[in-house]
Amino acid sequence: MSDEKKPDKQGLSRRGFLKASGISLSVPLVLNYRMVKAAGAEVKVLGPGKAPIQLTINSKPFTAEVEPRVTLLEALRNDLDLTGAKRVCDRATCGACTVIMDGKPVYSCSVLAIEAQGKKITTVEGLMQGERLHPVQQAFVDNDAQQCGYCTPGFVVACKAFLDKNPNPTPEEVKRGLGGNLCRCGTYVGVRAAVLQASRGRKGGQRG
């Protein structure tokens, strides 16, 4: 391990600081990180307690205090009241938690909130344009592309990310391009039709 201060030593010095400066102990003084010497540089080490984070979600700034172990999905749902992304497998194998990060679809269950700082994050809540559904959302409605609906927000976001990269996909490309999301109701036919409709930018998808 690198050369670093023991936490108890740090605690002592904090008390020492409080005593010396005469600040009342009732004033919260949060030490969220410590600096650790690593290969000649000082590197910030956060946690395991809470640390403040800043996220940019749907073009708006958000702040929260989370432990490093909190995933982006947990921060969205539990701290930021953005419950569109769903927690299903929580193991990067179902897609219900999909969000777009810096233009790429990612499983938010497998991104730490702390490492999502500085990234542009889009969730399903950010897709509507005013009161109008995003074309992908509208296409899901038009093509009955959901049954129980639990996978739907993740699917909608994954479809948007796919279409951003492949604006004019073939049916085979659509099938492969949605390979990161599962629907236990089996509504894949509707979802594929929705993506094809959205890619054509008109009403009336094609099933099959």
Partner 1 sequence: MRGFEYASPTTKEQAVSLLGSSDDDAMALAGGTDLLSLMKDDIVAPRRLVNLKDVAELRGIRLLPDGSLRIGALVTVQELLDNAIVKRGYASLIHAADGITSPQIRAMGTVGGDLCQRPRCWYYRAGFGLLAKDKDGAALVPEGDNRYHAILGNTGPAYFVNPSSLAPALIALGAKLHIFGSGGQVEMNLENFFAAPTSANEKEYRLKPNEIVTEIIVPSAGGWKNATYEVRQKESLDWPLAAASVALKMSGKTIESARVVLGHVAPVPWRSGEAQAYLAGKTISEQVAETAGTLAVARASAMSHNGYKIQLARVAVKRAIMKAAQGGQR
Site of interaction with partner 1 (CB under 8 A)? 1-2, 36, 38-41, 43-49, 67-69, 71, 90-95, 98, 104-107, 109-112, 114-115, 158, 161-162, 176-177, 179-180, 182
Q: Which is nearer to partner 1, 109 or 198 (CB)?
A: 109
Toward partner 1, which CB reaches closer, 98 or 199?
98
Q: Which is nearer to partner 1, 18 or 182 (CB)?
A: 182
d(CA 75, CA 81): 8
Whichever of 36 and 189 has its CB closer to partner 1, that residue is 36
For partner 1, the closer CB: 107 or 140: 107
CB of 2 to partner 1, least distance (A): 4
Closer residue to partner 1, CB minimum distance, 68 or 149 = 68
Q: Min. distance of Cβ 10 from partner 1 in angstroms? A: 13
Q: How far is the CB of 130 from partner 1 (least distance, A)?
A: 29
| 43/183 Cα distance (integer angstroms) | 43
CA pair distance 106, 15, nearest whole angstrom: 43
Task: Name the residue with tokens 């629907």.
Answer: 183
Cβ neighbourhood burial of 156 (10 Å; 0-12, 13-18, 19+)? buried
Q: From the CB of 46, what's the least distance to partner 1, in Å?
A: 5
Taking the mean position of all CA atoms in its chain, how far away is CA 126? 12
Least separation in angstroms between CB 31 and partner 1: 13
Q: Minimum distance between the CB of residue 180 and partner 1, rounded to whole angstroms?
A: 3
